[in-house]
Amino acid sequence: MSVAVEQEQERIATPEPKEHFVQADGLRWHVVEEGDGPTVLLVHGTAASVHSWRKVIPHLSARFHVVALDLPGHGQTTSRGSSDLTLPRMASGVAAVMKALGLSPKIVAGHSAGAAILAEAASRKLIAPTTLVSFNGAFFPFGGLAGSLFSPIAKFVAFNPFVPRLLSGVARQSTVERLLRDTGSEPDPEDIEHYFRLFKDPDHVAAALGMMAAWDLSTMEQALARIEASCIFVAGDNDKAVPPASADRAASRCRHAVTLHYRGYGHLLHEENPRLAAGIIMGLET
């Protein structure tokens, strides 16, 4: 099923999050928790951090216990190197954090690569959600020439120790803004500032590059078919990073799935309209 809806953008004030650190799977994870009620787990995508959900969390925390975390090497979570940045290792790491917290979230939501991590974890029964929500999920490898070139280039860049420091050293706010707009989204000044801070951190840049180099999505179609949870694939029809048709392709592989297409939004749909993103998640409460 495909639904196309136009939504008004809304900006809300966001309180300071309640942050702490958790030791799990050999790493020190940065975690944000807010609210009481059924647990919702939020996982960001490549090159982002928990800040990606900062405008969604206040909407959810009035009815849910919301947990968001920084992925390995991203934001304030540590990483030991490329071995921590593969899809299977990230999936097992996220599950280890939930176990350390004593939580078993029934609703999980991920953006871009974060959705793939949750799908991998659910397919391997490392987590047992009843519903998985994907916002512009990145489930499939690049095709054609881009696919044949991207992996070698990413590996060369990621594994050269001078590159992340070089990139972070020359990062400019205008460049970051252009990169965000190139995803088809319209970031506000606060969004741009948050990403700019991340891009100035060479460790964060190294993790983002290493993650892209280390990932293998060739088995994701089989993983999607093994997921027992109901899946909702949300796509912004202006997404320039992940083809919106990927949502329909992913849904076709799952046992129980729907797609929701929204006009006027790009890859960062959940940041452009946090009320919409939260509303999709809140509508799943039983």
pLDDT tens, position by position, 209-228: 888 888 889 999 999 999 99
12 pLDDT tier (thresholds 50, 70, 90): very low
Q: Per residue in 153-168, pLDDT tens? A: 444 444 445 445 445 5
Report the percent of the chain where pLDDT is more than 90: 71
Separation CA 83–CA 210 (nearest Å) = 9
Burial class (CB in 10 A: 0-12, 13-18, 19+), 77: buried
Q: CA end-to-end span of the chain, whole Å?
A: 21
Joined together, the tokens standing for residue 63 give 């009815």
Is residue 232 within 8 A of residue 260, CB to CB? The reply is yes
Taking only the tens place, the pLDDT of each residue in 243-275 is: 999 999 999 999 999 999 999 999 999 999 999
Q: Which residues pair with 131 in a beta bridge?
A: 107, 230
Q: What is the dihedral of CA 42, 44, 48, 54, to 10 degrees?
A: -30
| pLDDT score, position 169 | 58
Q: Give domain limits for the chain.
A: 2-145+218-282
Indicate whether 142 pLDDT > 80.
Answer: no
pLDDT of residue 44: 97
132: left (phi over 0), alpha (psi -120 to 50) or beta: beta
Lowest mean pLDDT among 91-95, 176-180, 233-237: 176-180
Other beta carbons less than 10 A from residue 42's beta carbon: 28
pLDDT value of position 278: 97
Of residues 259 and 151, more confidently modeled: 259
Task: Output the pLDDT for position 51.
Answer: 96
pLDDT of residue 161: 52
Total-model pTM: 0.88
> Between the CA of residue 113 and those of 1, 19, 62, 162, 206, what are the distances in Å?
23, 23, 27, 25, 16
CA geometry: angle 134, 72, 153, nearest 5 deg: 85
**Average predicted confidence (pLDDT) for the chain:** 86
Strands 107-111, 131-135: pairing is parallel
Domain 2-145+218-282 in CATH 3.40.190.10: no
Largest CA distance in the chain: 50
User: How many whole angstroms separate alpha carbon 230 and alpha carbon 163?
Assistant: 41
Strands 18-24 and 27-34 turn out to be antiparallel
Alpha helices per DSSP H over 84-201: 87-101, 113-123, 144-158, 162-170, 173-181, 189-199
- Residue 168 has a pLDDT of 59
Confidence of residue 175 (pLDDT cuts 50, 70, 90): confident
Q: Which two tokens stand for residue 160?
A: 């050269």
pLDDT for res 18: 86
